[in-house]
Amino acid sequence: MKEVTVSNLLEKKRRHEKITALTAYDTPMAEMLDRLGIDLILVGDSVGMVLLGYSSTRFVTMDEMIHHTKAVRRGVKRAYLVGDMPYRSYQTPAAAYKNACRFIDEAGCDAVKLEGGEAVLPVLRFLRKKKIQVQGHLGLLPQSVKPGTPFHLKAKDPLSAKQLMEEASLLEKEGAFSIILECIPYEVGRMVTALVKIPTIGIGAGPFCDGQILVTHDLLGLFQTFKPRFVKPYADLAQRVGRAVATYRREVSNRSFPTLHHSFSMAPEALRQLKRITQSLRHD
Ligand code: KIV
């Protein structure tokens, strides 16, 4: 399979072919998603809540993002790789450029993602001038939610929906290659998708977006802290992990694991010699 590019993603929208996207935070998962033909892999700042035990994505640092993104890069040969700019890493165009360069040059990303509409336009414009590809993110913006407060549906009234549509147009005009739409009514997802020529990737934005993204740990049933309505768990790995660990614990406790089958042995002559030369060490 060939490497995925921005033109491939645009072409998919033009042909009404769905774009598949998922998150990854480490090499083995990235390798699997890449091999299984996922088009776009996002190293999301969701890593903070899913893997690092933070109560909000706001606590994720640039260094943590770069660490995980480098690991993902080592597993990705074909998919389009996007790094998620963490909270307060893109407050000014200069800071955004410095941090985006770390994602691109140090961690090997194809693009970066920014949360926000009108507020991020100067940054988006500057990054595009510097030839950095940028993915937008509208609707529910987890970095804007105060830690400890729940996530809510966005753009549910006509005025905020219209504002979201205007912001989608502005992101397109300033050169974003795609927009993530998170947790908005499906009608709004559909209208934005028809309005812009760049691909929309939905997460809780209904079935009419150009593509779909989920947090991989949600899809696999591995993230148990909360389960948004828009998540469809395709497996229950937490239950399987639970069963495997309980069996391991029982077998170690009752001495049925490990057996000689899982052990190494010495050559008989080596063992005889060992016993001879260690005789003086025995206390019996
Ligand atoms: O951080 C993340 O994983 C994301 C996706 C939910 C789109 O931003």
pLDDT of residue 284: 58
Q: What band does 227 get if pLDDT is binned at 50, 70 and 90? A: confident
Confidence (pLDDT) at 226: 84
Which residue's CA is minimally distant from atom 1 of ligand 1?
44
Q: What is the distance between the alpha carbons of residues 209 and 131, in angstroms, rounded to a whole number?
A: 26
Q: Is the CB of 202 under 6 A from ligand 1?
A: no
Mean pLDDT of 87-109: 98
Q: Which residue owns the Cα nearest ligand 1 atom 8?
A: 44
225 pLDDT higher than 90: no
CATH of the domain spanning 6-239: 3.20.20.60
Contact between residue 179 and residue 168 where contact means Cβ atoms under 8 Å apart: yes
pLDDT in tens, 246-268: 999 999 999 999 999 999 999 99
Give φ, ψ of 192 to 5 degrees. Answer: -65, -40
d(CA 252, CA 169): 60
259 by Cβ neighbours in 10 Å (0-12 / 13-18 / 19+) ranks as exposed
Does the beta carbon of 115 sit less than 6 angstroms from any atom of ligand 1?
no
Read off the pLDDT of residues 190-199 as tens digits, 9 standing for 90 and up. 999 999 999 9
3-state SS class at 18: coil
148-181: per-residue pLDDT in tens?
Answer: 999 999 999 999 999 999 999 999 999 999 999 9
**Ligand 1 proximity of 22 Cβ (cutoff 6 Å):** no
Give the mean pLDDT of 63-91.
98
The SS3 of residue 139 is strand
The atom of ligand 1 lying closest to the CA of 201 is 7
If pLDDT is split at 50, 70 and 90, which confidence band does 141 have? very high
Structure token pair of residue 192: 């934005």
pLDDT of 283 over the 70 cut: no
| pLDDT score, position 251 | 98
- Residue ranges in 196-235 assigned as alpha helix (H): 216-219
- Give the nearest ligand 1 atom to 46 CA: 1
If you average pLDDT over residues 200-207, what whole number do you get?
98
Check residue 200 and give its pLDDT.
98
Tell me the pLDDT tens digit for each residue of 32-65: 999 999 999 999 999 999 999 999 999 999 999 9
- The per-residue pLDDT for 224 is 85
Q: What is the pTM of this model?
A: 0.95
How far, in Å, from the CA of 146 to the mean position of ligand 1? 17
Regarding the beta carbon of 23 and ligand 1, being less than 6 Å apart is answered yes
At residue 279 the predicted structure's pLDDT band, cuts being 50, 70 and 90, is very high
Determine the average pLDDT of the residues in 60-80.
98
For residue 108, give the nearest of 55, 144, 56, 72 by alpha carbon. 72
Atom 5 of ligand 1: nearest residue by CA position: 44
64 as an active site residue: the answer is no
**Is 44's C-beta closer than 6 angstroms to any atom of ligand 1?**
yes
Termini Cα distance of the chain? 67
Show me where the domains of the chain are located. Answer: 6-239
